Structure 1
Amino acid sequence: MTITVNIHEAKTQMSRLARAVEAGETVIVARAGTPIMEWRSVRPRAPLFGSIPGFGGPGWEEAFTEEADAEVRAMFDEDLGLDDPA
């Protein structure tokens, strides 16, 4: 989410805005309604495990089976021509 404030509000609410930036918000500071600067955190937030859609959620363990491993190895063997007896 982005917070937009004017310069006067940014000066008077600096501590509150700094906490918002630390929490991952972006602050746009404007002069007479025209954006002039953007404040955002210099430290990226660590991703939460399972935050990538479809990865790490329920059932992901089933994707790693011996059959799937053998199938992937066979694809590499085919690409390298290792399955040809010649």
Structure 2
Amino acid sequence: SKKKASKKKASKKKASKKKASRKAAAAEGDMAHVLAAVDQLRDALHDLASHQINQRRQLVEELRTAARSGFSEVETAARKTLNRLTGKG
């Protein structure tokens, strides 16, 4: 009886350890999935930020080009007007 109880206790302890081990392994697997998802999210955010930066740079360059063109047109118009007013044209 004592022997049986001891074996039963040992068996329970062993089963408990096995169960804990399985839970720990499952938790590690879940954590690996979470970390992989975090890596993917970080990469996606980096790609998005890079794309937005490139778009903004392109827009700024287009604005600069348009501004230069506009200034050039204003300068040409001002010279024509000045020449007309001074009688040089």
Give the structure-1-normalised TM-score: 0.28
Give the structure-2-normalised TM-score: 0.28
More helix by share: 2
